[in-house]
Amino acid sequence: MTTGPLIACHECDLLQRETPLPPNGVLRCCRCGAELYRSHPDSLDRALSFTLTSIVLFAVANAYPVVGLAVNGDLVQTTLIGAVRVLYRDGMWPLAGLVFATTLLMPAMQMTAMAYLLVPLRLNRVPYRADLVFRVLHMAQPWGMTEVLILGLLVALVKLAHIASVVPGVALWSFGALMLLLAAASAAFDPRELWARISHGGHGAGPEAGGATALPSPNAAACGWMVCHSCGLMSKPAAHAHEASCPRCGAQLHFRKPDSIARTWAFLIAAMVLYVPANVLPVMNTSSLFGSEKDTIMSGVVYLWTSGSWPLAVIVFIASIAVPMLKIIALVFLTVSTQFHSRWQPEQRTRVYRLVELVGRWSMLDIYVITMLVALVQFNALATIQAGPAAIAFGAVVVLTMFAAMSFDPRLIWDLAEKNHGHAA
């Protein structure tokens, strides 16, 4: 009978045993279907090579113009940091900060942290304060949105092509390659192998339990174990303690996320309030020789559709209008059903939560489109574009819904099912 270390699912808290996997194999939770871990051949070496190449491309992408706009012999070009500077100069500093954080700061932190951890290991040394750097990496990963930026740049190019001649820059191709390399580095990186190499066996696996040992509950929390959401380690806190620190990476541990329902509601209510001005107020103000025009998010979708770019119109509509609204509805459904102890289909509700986490970042698409248009359409008396107040409201909706998803604890969905199972037994 299998006597491997125990692990707990981070989405339903079910205790399971580690199982040897074939190369590129995936182990999923037998109850909710969440991915527990993968088998990555040469994980750390591949992740290091992708990361070092990404750092070089990141430097190139930010040193050269992303795109240029040629009008009457004049060429207006911008780098990504130059576009952020234009937003800041126009008084849209919240938007400038959001774009800077998600396209420059967080990807840079992600690459730097990964290189910091992997280079010493490649030289057979343990990185100093690996616990702190690993937590920085885990924090930065959800907020680096290079792939969304690329799609936003493509939509911006289509819109700009109706204004003047578009000249793609070196940085555009560099960002495209960077997107692929960052995805490859994240896919190759295996935290389990990282900690096995760092700890040389210490805190490298979950608690052992013999095959014949009966557990008091299949639920980790009910057995007194806390699961680290950063590194995945299970550890036992002091008696009667409701929080602790992970002995491996130092992250804060809780049996369940503190005040999960209340914090999710707070973020959701704020997002619902801001969703209205985000769709009603102008997201862009265009001034030209023929007057001024104010565009909402929906009018931008209509413009793409009527200009013949209907595939992009569908993408923008889904990312900027449908996804934020459906994400709010889905989170309200999950929060209400959990708060009222619903027993309805915990597997399906967990899948809904997983989908919400997956698609939320793509709502940033319209923010990046606006950033490029504002930076490039600066022809003084001929035409200028400025970001409108709806852009700030929309950016806040995206951030608030991401925080709401992060605050919600999907393990609460399964707690009632676990209690019912215990009563039935």
Tens-place pLDDT, residues 85-131: 988 988 889 999 999 999 999 999 999 999 999 999 999 898 998 88
Q: How far apart (Å, rounded) are the C-alpha atoms in residues 371 and 373?
A: 6
Whole-angstrom distance between the N-terminal and C-terminal Cα of the chain? 24
Whether residues 152 and 191 fall in one domain = yes
Task: Please give the chain's pLDDT, 425 residues, in tens.
Answer: 345 678 888 888 888 888 888 887 888 888 888 888 888 788 889 999 999 999 999 999 999 998 888 777 677 788 899 999 988 988 889 999 999 999 999 999 999 999 999 999 999 898 998 889 999 999 999 999 999 999 888 888 887 877 778 888 899 999 999 999 999 999 889 888 888 888 764 444 555 544 445 555 677 877 888 888 888 888 887 766 667 888 888 888 888 888 899 999 999 999 999 999 988 888 887 766 555 677 788 887 887 788 777 777 888 888 888 888 899 999 999 999 888 888 788 888 889 998 888 888 888 888 898 888 888 876 655 667 778 888 899 999 999 999 999 999 888 888 876 555 544 44
Which among 393, 367, 372 has a CA at the least distance from the CA of 280? 393
User: For the segment 296-347, what is each residue's pLDDT rounded down to a tens digit?
Assistant: 888 878 877 887 777 778 888 888 888 888 999 999 999 998 888 887 888 8
| CATH code of the domain in which 302 resides | 1.20.140
Co-location of 293 and 395 in the same domain: yes
pLDDT for 4: 62
**Same domain as 233, residue 104:** no
Residue 265 sits in the same domain as residue 216? no
The set of residues, in sequence order, having a beta carbon less than 8 Å from that of 244 and lying 6+ positions away, is 226, 235, 237, 238, 252, 253
User: pLDDT value at position 1?
Assistant: 38
The three-state secondary structure class of 66 is coil
Are both 336 and 218 inside the same structural domain? Answer: no
262 to 269, 334, 338, 414: CA distances (angstroms): 11, 13, 12, 18
| 59 and 139 part of one domain | yes
Query: What are the angstrom distances between the C-alpha of 10 and each of 29, 78, 96?
Result: 9, 43, 34
Residue 243, burial from CB neighbour count under 10 angstroms (0-12, 13-18, 19+): exposed
pLDDT for res 412: 87
pLDDT at 234: 83
Instruction: Please indicate, yes or no, whether residues 260 and 386 belong to a single structural domain of this protein.
Output: yes
d(CA 11, CA 8): 9
Domain edge (last residue) among 191, 226, 245: 245
- Is the CB of residue 388 less than 8 Å from the CB of residue 299? no
Instruction: Tally Cβ neighbours within 10 Å of residue 378.
Output: 17
Query: Rounded to the nearest 10 degrees, how much is the dihedral formed by the CA atoms of 255, 261, 266, 270?
Result: 120
CB 289 within 8 A of CB 382: yes
Residues 234 and 260 in one domain: no
Question: Is 233 found in the same domain as 310?
Answer: no
Amino acid of residue 249: C
Both 269 and 410 in one domain: the answer is yes
Look at the chain and report how many structural domains it folds into.
Answer: 3
What's the burial of 226, exposed, middle or buried (CB within 10 Å: 0-12/13-18/19+)? buried
Cβ(214)–Cβ(13) below 8 Å = no
Same domain (yes/no): 220, 79: no
What residue numbers bound the domain in which 393 lies?
A: 255-425
Number of neighbours of residue 294 by Cβ within 10 angstroms: 13
pLDDT for 299:
80
**Best CA proximity match to 213, nearest among 223, 227, 203:** 223
Q: Is 374 exposed, middle or buried (0-12, 13-18, 19+ CB in 10 A)?
A: buried
- 3-state secondary structure at position 126: coil
**195 lies in the same domain as 241:** no
Report the distance separating Cα 20 and Cα 39, nearest Å: 9
Evaluate whether 67 touches 85 at the Cβ level (below 8 Å). no
